[in-house]
Amino acid sequence: MTNSFDKAIEMMSEAGTVAIFMHVNPDPDCVGSALALCLFLRKKGKKAFVFTPDTRTTHMIPEKIKFLPHFDLLNKCNEVIFDLSIAVDLGETGRIGDFALPLFYKGERSLVIDHHETFSDFAEYTVRDEKASSTAEILTQLLFQYDESAIDKDIACNLYAGLVTDCGNFFYECTSKKTFEVAASLIEFGIDITDITRRLTKDIDYNVYKLKIKVLSEARFFFDNKMAVIVFRKKDFMDTATNEKDTDGIINEVQNISGVLLSVSIAEVGTDRYKISFRSKGSVSAKECAEYFGGGGHFNASGCRLSGAFDDVLNRLVSVGKSRLQYV
């Protein structure tokens, strides 16, 4: 932890109007953290609002997240300037969204609460803990310090949603003693952890199931099966009535194979444009792979974007995989 909560709490205490922002391709950690923080600040008497990356719609948010308590408060705001802007779960302006960024700067003061290893400071003050499993894990501790009595069941549910998703249901290496302690403190509020966990980490749509079996049946393996690559082509999305958002988590199915140390997912998102995800085990760094191509993320889970002809993109990824796997 590089920062204490004191300054962030002071900034929130002094603000009357607060705008909260999430990252593009919203996930349960940024949506849950943003909603929890908004609900909490409203209980503290603030005028608090949450904006999606396009500031108008929720269509980029996966359906399965929409059960979160008070999801309908997103983008409902009649203020034009704010005492304080807060970005949660993102450390770079590039991830806040082109429409949200100018609004973020309408805040007289600015704050970031984040746990990503890749960042560029862009706010007046940043609370960052790269060791935390999730932004929700950091935020829960911050809110307990700020005013435990203002935390309620709906706030706890939103926070738990972020935490349980980002730590992979207490499985990823980012899971620590603190993760369990924070989870335990949220369970005290009587939330239904089985329901939250099932909705966010287990349930899949039938269409996504069809996409999944198609893509997995065509998985490619390299270097004595130490590296796995799955590919989502435009046609796969069309054939199964799915889209890029539905690729989430499918990479874990190949990463779960014994002996696979590095997995790569290639999703075609436009003409000769690809969204790449990496997952790694042990000493193999997914983060280094992503950073090589200008992306970033965590040690074992990262991503980047690549352009070019498909065969070229595949070859570049395989050669980076080769360079990371040759000494293991």
Count of positions (residues) in the chain: 328
Q: How far is the CB of 245 from Mn ion (least distance, A)?
A: 16
Give the CB-side neighbour count of residue 222, counting CA atoms within 13 A: 19
CB-nearer residue toward Mn ion: 157 or 313: 157
CB-nearer residue toward Mn ion: 29 or 246: 29
Q: How far is the CB of 165 from Mn ion (least distance, A)?
A: 8
Rounded distance, CA 178 to CA 248, Å?
26
Contact residues for Mn ion, defined by CB under 5 A: 29, 89, 134-135, 166
Q: How far is the CB of 237 from Mn ion (least distance, A)?
A: 25
Token pair belonging to 25: 């391709």
Residue 308 has phi, psi (to 5 degrees) of 135, 180
CB-nearer residue toward Mn ion: 163 or 267: 163
Closest residue by beta carbon to Mn ion: 29
Between β-strands 220-222 and 301-307, what pairing exists: parallel, antiparallel or unpaired? unpaired
CB-nearer residue toward Mn ion: 113 or 266: 113
Closest by CA to 267, choosing from 222, 224, 317, 221, is: 317
The side-by-side arrangement of strands in the sheet containing 220-222 is: 220-222, 227-232, 262-270, 273-280, 301-307, 296-297
Q: How far is the CB of 137 from Mn ion (least distance, A)?
A: 9
Q: How far is the CB of 163 from Mn ion (least distance, A)?
A: 9
CB-nearer residue toward Mn ion: 129 or 268: 129
Contact 52, 75 (CB under 8 A): yes
Q: How far is the CB of 115 from Mn ion (least distance, A)?
A: 6
Residue 50 CB coordination number (10 Å)? 27
CB-nearer residue toward Mn ion: 79 or 248: 248
CB-nearer residue toward Mn ion: 83 or 89: 89
Which runs of consecutive H residues, i.e. helices, occur in the chain?
6-14, 28-43, 100-104, 135-147, 153-166, 177-187, 193-197, 206-217, 234-240, 251-255, 286-292, 310-325
Q: How far is the CB of 88 from Mn ion (least distance, A)?
A: 9
